[in-house]
A and B are shown apart, each in its own frame.
Chain A
Amino acid sequence: MKALRPLLVFVVAVAVVLGGVHLLQEATEYHGGVGAEAQTTVLFSIKDNDFHHGDAFAATALWQTCIATIGWTGEDEPAPAGERTYRAVLRPSLPDDTRRRLRGCIEDLVVNHVKGNVVSMYSGAA
């Protein structure tokens, strides 16, 4: 039994590594496709650092860039929905991994000193 211990440790280590790599692959892989609902509504706010071209232009620039990264086409221009907050609609709705991808883009990307924060994102009927 004592002689089998290194082998057991090796097998467990290989299983953990392979499982971790698989989990990471599943978590970061883009599966594509569309969601089951009719549309996804995104409410996001913007912040900027000396961007002198207006909030609407800043929101549109950030929104269009992130829409391009997920390869979505059926979208509306972001419409004002509060203090530096904008609402945009995507048709059809986004699947889970694409929603996560869009949220990551809006909150992580900085375009011309403009960055955003997703207030809410939900899918539903039109």
Chain B
Amino acid sequence: MRRFVVPGIAAITLIGSGAYFFVYLYRWEWNRALTSGVIFIAVEVMLVGVTLWQRIGRLAATAQASPERRRRIEARLREAPPQRTAVFDWLRPDGSSAPVFIPILMGAGLLLSGLAWVVERLARATAGSVADPGVAATMARLGPPPGGLLDDSADPLRLLRQPTSPR
């Protein structure tokens, strides 16, 4: 009985507001027609929401796993435990002493990397002032001769090319 109260009231409101919507249109009472239309749409949306809510609730109740089924799955999982991972197998004692060096090698690699980083930072901080004069000397040799590349006043073959009008 209780589950029919809300849908019953909503249905009566829906029918009444829908009917009065047309009655008010017939009477040319636009404001009242608009109000009836808004009530109609509001109740309609409410009914759709209630219906969806009830159906989702039923689906959720259906999807709930039964306790007996849950116990059966747990027992099955206990019977078939997951396979052991092999990621850290090198840590397991297998009679050989070789794995003991692996952490030592990793630590040594870490120390050497740190040492290399320190050396690189030290070189960067101290080699700048020494390298600059050497670079300047090298760059100076790459420059054009005095007077430019077209000046042939020091060329011994100049008279042979232009005997009558030396520049």
- A-B CB contacts (within 8 Å), total count: 30
B22 touches A104 (CB 8 A): no
Interface digits, A55-71 against B, CB 8 Å rule (1 contact, 0 not)? 00000000000000000
For residue B31, CB closer than 8 A to chain A, the reply is yes
Complex Cα distance, B23 from A27, in Å, reads: 10
A108 touches B29 (CB 8 A): yes
For residue A105, CB closer than 8 A to chain B, the reply is yes
Counting chain B residues whose Cβ lies within 8 A of the other chain, the interface size class is 10 to 19
- The secondary-structure label for the interface of chain A is helix
B25 touches A28 (CB 8 A): yes
Which chain A residues lie closer than 8 Å to B24 at the CB level?
Answer: 108
Which chain A residues lie closer than 8 Å to B27 at the CB level?
Answer: 100, 103-104, 107-108
For residue A109, CB closer than 8 A to chain B, the reply is yes
Give chain B interface residues in 1-54, CB to chain A under 8 Å: 22, 24-32
Complex Cα distance, B35 from A51, in Å, reads: 24
CB of A103 to closest CB in B, whole Å = 7
Which chain B residues lie closer than 8 Å to A24 at the CB level?
Answer: 22, 25
Which chain B residues lie closer than 8 Å to A28 at the CB level?
Answer: 25-26, 28
Which chain B residues lie closer than 8 Å to A27 at the CB level?
Answer: 22, 25-26
- Can you add 14 more A-B contacts, CB < 8 Å, to A103-B28, A109-B31? A24-B22, A24-B25, A100-B27, A100-B28, A101-B28, A103-B27, A104-B27, A104-B30, A105-B28, A107-B29, A108-B28, A108-B29, A108-B30, A110-B31
**Which residues does A use to contact B, with CB under 8 Å?**
24, 27-28, 100-101, 103-105, 107-110
For the complex of A and B, 8 pairs with smallest distance between CB atoms: A104-B28, A108-B29, A101-B28, A104-B29, A27-B26, A104-B27, A108-B31, A28-B25
